[in-house]
Structure 1
Amino acid sequence: MTTSPTGTAGAQPASAGFVISERSALLRAETALFMRDHVLSLVSHDLRGPLNAIHSWAYVLERKLDANDPNSQRAITGIRSGVDQQVKLLETIVDTTRAETKSLALTYEPFPLHPLLAETVEEVRAGLARARGVEVRLDSQIATEQLNGDRARLAAALWLMLTFAVEASARDAEVALAARADNGTWHASVTYEPNEAALNDAALPHMLEAFARKQAGEPREAKRIAWVFALCKRVAEAHGGSFEQSDSTEAGSVTATPATLVLRVPFSAAVPK
């Protein structure tokens, strides 16, 4: 399964000389959908703490204020009402909107892993990587191993990991996908040397939206991933696995390391009841 760099009927142009194939366009849209829901989840989580604190302090203030002062009581009522309205918005708009990817439906079936790896690497090579002059290398220790899971979803996660690494790489750089089996788990690791100029240069071909690429270069809180990798994280966790993003260390340091994206999935993920 490969994707032509010239695209197919109905594909949309990304920049001069580069056309996005129909499959890549679909994967880009799915990436945006999962990213939207991931951001909504963060908003919902991060707003509830301050809102709960405001609600609690309102009770503290109420005990300190004169119960016979109508202005004070009106202020307290306004504070509580405002908090309740915000919580309701989170429940009815934010939480409801992200429900589509919160409960991810998977189609479980056993499939060989090596063809999936080879097909996905070739797909990224033939599309964005060739247009950007970036080499994509597959270093796989996977032979005949099979995984019981959703092949299409896992292919999308791998595609996104490789695509972002290509987006973040300078011309003539190399992106490597390493795959191995360890204690009943499939490990897929993408390594690359991030280049901020290449990631955000509007003159270069790009697959991912500009705001997603820009946010990926901003500082992240501990254990949080860049928004653009929400699909990878959700797919991994739905299979009982995990996804990790590690930034590179400074190029001039003695212990300089490339950036890594790691997907871990059990070979026999339990099918949810």
Structure 2
Amino acid sequence: LQELAASGSCTPFEKAYIRKDGSQVPILLGAARLESDELAWVCFVLDLSESKKVEALLRQQAEELSRANRLKDEFLATVSHELRTPLNAMLGWATMLRSRHLDEATTNRAIETIERNARAQNQLINDLLDVSRIITGKLRLNVRPVILVSVIEAAIDSIRPAAEAKDIRLQSILDPGAGPVSGDSDRLQQVFWNLLSNAVKFTPKGGRVQIRLERINSHIESHIEVTVSDTGQGISPEFLPYVFERLQQADSTTTRAHGGLGLGLAIVRHLVELHGGSVDATSAGEGKGATFMVNLPITIFRPEPTDMERVHPTASDTAPLLDTPRLDGLKVLIVDDEIDARELLAMLLRQRGAMTTTVASAREALSIIIQSAFDQKPDVLVSDIGMPSEDGYTLIRQVRALAPDQGGQIPAIALTAYARTEDRIKALASGFQSHVPKPVEPVEFITVLASLINRF
């Protein structure tokens, strides 16, 4: 008020007021005297609620970007360290072997060290490649009936030397009647190897690691549960929510006690979800051990015939496919950067009478949709999600931006290895009408396609 009286105006200032409901509202206040009339004043009161929300959002985004950059820098530093560490041992011992001045015992030790570090580096590279495949949606499963007992026993055998070196007791409680699952035996073994390897890594000398396989029956549904528990260093409550995220490590400093890239558990989560399951982690806190629980759906299989019983498919094998709706004359545009996937879908659709066009990229697909004459445009679009340059989400957004007479309303199916609920929601929100997870089940795919056409 003194400033207003002295100069005829006051510097705008912010002040928080209380609403009737008790909430606060930020306000910008200011006033000035009109030059034409000393008794006339202009006062303004601006509600800053929206601008404050924008400021808070920008601050949050800046913090998230800073965190992402920090994680990236830490990860790159870790990759450099983890790849160089085994190289150092291999090159050092290789140089000493060249000198030919080592006795037999030292020579054997050198060879063992080189082999051990080569295997460690191979595992690091495989993890990096797996994460790359996960990000691009190119990680594939070779699905067949899997008996988990043998898969888990193989993982235990692989990790046993590391456990024995630390005098860690490996306990296994495996129910042979737990039932088969539908999955990729190699990838499932990778899941359990990763969990056991982590448990051994973070369990001190003389500790215990246990893996349990059992069938859980409930009034809702039955499933397979595999539990890996240890008496190791545990997980802090602050880090527990992030334990399955890529690039996350509880200790990413240069003084950390354990190696690794921090990718193993992220790979575990993705592989389990590709199998239609879930994975969870619990821990009472640091120094109190940790437990990881993998849940997988049970699948009932027909016994597979032996080669002596049947070499070629019989009528009963093709009957389910023959029972699916005909697609005579239907024009289907297939988009997938993998030629095997394109050929499989094209063959399957042609068997039901459809006419197919296959392309390897989103750009080619968009060009065909736009440039085709109206009566020659595809009736249905079937697109992969994970593709280089432009993914399936980008393609469907570009298609939906077209006018109807250009093909903007073409029915579309997303075909993807991302099979989680949130992946399906994202596909539908992007503009696809249906979401079919890979690997493709022919009868389901044809049925979904026919159902989609009947709706349009």
TM-score, normalised to structure 1's length?
Answer: 0.54
- Offset at residue 150 of structure 1 (A): 0.5
Query: 1:115/1:148 Cα in 2 relative to 1: closer, same or farther (>3 Å)?
Result: same
Aligned residue number for residue 79 of structure 1: none
Q: CA–CA distance in 1 between the matches of 2:117 and 2:145?
A: 28
Q: CA–CA distance in 2 between the matches of 1:195 and 1:108?
A: 36
Is the Cα contact below 8 Å between 1:190 and 1:260 reproduced in 2? yes
Note the 1:1-273 alignment, pairs <5 A.
20=116, 26-34=122-130, 99-100=135-136, 102-125=137-160, 127-143=161-177, 145-182=179-216, 183-195=221-233, 219-220=238-239, 222=241, 225=244, 227=246, 228=263, 229-249=265-285, 258-268=289-299, 272-273=439-440
- Offset at residue 25 of structure 1 (A): 5.4
- Offset at residue 103 of structure 1 (A): 4.2
Q: CA–CA distance in 2 between the matches of 1:131 and 1:98?
A: 33
- Offset at residue 247 of structure 1 (A): 2.3
Q: CA–CA distance in 1 between the matches of 2:178 and 2:225?
A: 15
Q: CA–CA distance in 1 between the matches of 2:121 and 2:185?
A: 18
Query: 1:176/1:144 Cα in 2 relative to 1: closer, same or farther (>3 Å)?
Result: closer
Which protein shows a greater Rg?
2
Aligned residue number for residue 67 of structure 1: none
- Offset at residue 112 of structure 1 (A): 1.7
Q: CA–CA distance in 2 between the matches of 1:106 and 1:230?
A: 17
- Offset at residue 184 of structure 1 (A): 3.6
CA RMSD of aligned residues (A): 3.6
Query: 1:179/1:29 Cα in 2 relative to 1: closer, same or farther (>3 Å)?
Result: farther
TM-score, normalised to structure 2's length?
Answer: 0.34
How many residue pairs get aligned? The number is 177
Query: 1:103/1:217 Cα in 2 relative to 1: closer, same or farther (>3 Å)?
Result: farther
Q: Percent of aligned pairs with the same residue? A: 17
Specify every segment of 5 or more residues in structure 2 that has no aligned partner in the other structure, as ranges.
1-85, 91-108, 247-262, 301-436, 441-456
Aligned residue number for residue 88 of structure 1: none
Amino acid at match of 1:109: R
Is the Cα contact below 8 Å between 1:31 and 1:230 reproduced in 2? no
Higher fraction of helix: 1
| 1:54-101 per-position Cα deviation (integer Å, ceiling 9, x unaligned) | xxxxxxxxxxxxxxxxxxxxxxxxxxxxxxxxxxxxxxxxxxx8634x
Amino acid at match of 1:141: D
Amino acid at match of 1:191: S
Query: SS at the partner of 1:29?
Result: helix
| 1:94-116 per-position Cα deviation (integer Å, ceiling 9, x unaligned) | xxx8634x343111111222111
Amino acid at match of 1:240: G
Higher RCO (CA 8 Å, separation ≥ 6 residues) = 1
Is the Cα contact below 8 Å between 1:248 and 1:260 reproduced in 2? no
Q: CA–CA distance in 1 between the matches of 2:149 and 2:119?
A: 20
Query: SS at the partner of 2:241?
Result: coil
| 1:109-140 per-position Cα deviation (integer Å, ceiling 9, x unaligned) | 11222111112112111x32122221211111
Is the Cα contact below 8 Å between 1:114 and 1:142 reproduced in 2? yes
